Structures are given as C-alpha cells and as structure tokens.
Chains A and B, each alone.
Chain A
C-alpha cells in the first residue's frame, strides 16, 4: 500500500484529505507544518506528499527547498494545495520542485486525477 503524507495546518483539511485518500487505498500520515513534514519524510519515506502552501513554522515552499537538499534516492511526488490560481504562484511551486497542484477546496475526483497524473494511481 502506498503512503501519502498530508501536510496542512488545518485539522479539517487534513481530515477531509485523509478520508478521500484512504478511500483511494492509500495509507495516510499527517503533519501540521513543513518542519514536521520533513521529519516524517525522513522517517517514513512517503510516496506522495499533499502539501499546503501557507503554513506556520515552515511554509510549503521552504519545505520543497529543504526536501530537494536532502537528495533522497526516491523523493516523494509532491502535489501542492493552494487557494490561489495565479500563474506566478503555480510556476514558483513547479520551479521549487512540485509535481502537480490542486486548488482548495478539492473533491475525490480531483485528487484522484492528480494522483494519476503523478503516477501514484
């Protein structure tokens, strides 16, 4: 079973994401900020990370930069979640190493589609 790490400071978003991801047969772990997410990446080597952009302690962008420095043998696919649809914003995430993006609020079909695009489903 593939592992997904959900990174979001909102408990509600994490709960919704967990519900959807588990229905897609993924094992889910949660982190409330980028720092905690990095520790989880080191410990559990997730296959995919669903990453919020604006978080306290460490933002999604800083998380991506740190993750790329780690030089993991099999880095996780990263789908970043945002409430903004500006091209500059999306491009910044891609430049930092994100594989896909999803707008909040998302539903099961949307998330399933993104997981297919990055090759997880």
Chain B
C-alpha cells in the first residue's frame, strides 16, 4: 500500500522554502522532501516532519529554519557537467569573447553554483587554454542561495564520489591533492573564483555586467513569475555580446530578454541587442 506523505507538513515546508528562496516545491520534489530532511531529523532526534516544524516554531534565532531550508535545496553538481556544453564553451564561446574584447578582461558569473564544481571547471578550463589568457584579468564570480553549498565551494575540498563524475584524470592529477579520503583543489584554481551567498531573485552581490553567465538547472525550480524575475536579473547583468548558458531543456522567459539561441550550440545564448529597458532593476 502506498503511504501518502503528511500533506499539511509538506505544504508548510514548501511555503517556507518558497518564502526564503523563491523556489517552488514541484510534485516530484514533494515526494523527496522527507528523504532530504531525514539526516537533519535523525541528527536532532525529530520523529516526524510535524515535530521538526514545531521545533522551528520554537526556535528563536532561526538557525533550525535555515538548516531545514538548506536541506531541502538540491546541491547536485559535478565537474564538467554535460561535457558537450563545456566543450562548446571552450571551443566557441571563450574564443569568441577573447576575439572581441578590447580590454583584456573576462568576467564570468556562475548563478546557482551549488558546491562549486562548475565554477572550478571553468577555472581549470581557462588554465588549460594556456597562453590565450596571458595578460588578461579573468574573474569568476559564483553565487548560490545556500550558505552551506557556498561554504563547501569555498573550501575546495571534495569527496571521492565528487571526483568520479566528470573530472578528467589529467585535471585531477594537475590540480588536486589527496587529503585523507578527500581531495583538495589547488589554491591557484581556488583563488580564481569568488564565491558568495546570493539569491538570484534579489541579487545584492553583483556589480556591472558579465561576459559569460552560467545559470544551469536553476530556473526550473522557480514558478513562472519568479523565473521571469530571475531572467530579468540575468539580462540586467549582461551586455550586448554576452553569452548565457542554461541547463538542457531550460528556456528564458519574459518578453524583455535580449538573448537569442546560438546556432549549433545547445544551451548557449547570446545577447544580441543592448540592454535598454531593463536598467530599472536594482542590481
């Protein structure tokens, strides 16, 4: 017999998630919510979701609430996730940005960077491209709504299972050192990325425009109105000629976005017109 999850508790948890992150609890995530929260419940000895919610109500400093919300977020990430997309960035997007820049400045924003693998993959890729970027200032700004994910990203320390997925052996040998059961990324790569906690729906840590923006597997967590807002913020931090990379199957919403699909490059978009009309957004 299929046991229904306790709907009222899940509804409340969904409301908390939405209020603090803007993310909606889809049907598929509803069924996983108890699994996501189980480690936290076990650690704190809460026998049920109702007991967890009651403790959140009693918790005056809000720490438990933040931990609960963090546990509900999806931190799935891997190095060079979707290898074809990274190949497109390396072979087409970055060379195009290199060719058209006058200032020898490359600014990248990874929006929704989770535990940092995507941003570090870009840093390793730029190193791999070698002399092409000599004399350039390269800045990679990576943001995520989860402080826990950002903490892990900043540490640059990954478990063996994280190393297994997507990371080519030569990059592992070049940039990682074993530390006990884990692997530590080299400072040279770690220092290329600036990680900050920030919400894509209300970004406060960004400044100016970026040449390349990655926002992969993030937009589909938002309901339509929030997705539109996120797209507006992305557009606000792009310039004419900026590239945007989304996750497979994700699409931009909002009639005001300046991006067009890049021919033969799946998931890659380019801003083809100036950003007029969206400067009203608070950055």
Q: Which residues of A contact B (CB under 8 A)?
A: 85-87, 90-91, 94, 98-103, 106, 109-110, 113, 116-117
Contacts and interface: CB of A to CB of B under 8 A. Distances in A.
Interface string B137-181: 000000000000000000000001001111011101100011000
Contacts of B170: 94
A68 to B, nearest CB: 17
Nearest to A91: B173
Given A85-B178, A86-B178, A87-B178, A113 B164 contact: yes
B248 interface: no
Given A85-B160, A116-B83, A117-B83, A94 B169 contact: yes
A94 B173 contact: yes
Interface residues of B, number: 15
B95 to A, nearest CB: 21
B257 interface: no
B169 A90 contact: yes
Interface string B115-145: 0000000000000000000000000000000
A113 B169 contact: no
B23 interface: no
A106 B173 CA distance: 20
B169 A100 contact: yes
B169 A106 contact: no
Contacts of B114: none
B242 interface: no
A94 B165 CA distance: 18
B78 A113 contact: yes
Interface string B184-206: 00000000000000000000000
Contact of B164 (A90, A99, A106): A106
B165 A110 contact: yes
A87 B178 CA distance: 7
B166 to A, nearest CB: 5
26 contacts: A85-B163, A85-B178, A86-B178, A87-B173, A87-B177, A87-B178, A90-B172, A91-B173, A94-B169, A94-B170, A94-B173, A98-B169, A100-B168, A100-B169, A101-B169, A103-B160, A106-B164, A109-B165, A110-B164, A110-B165, A113-B164, A113-B165, A113-B166, A117-B80, A117-B168, A117-B169
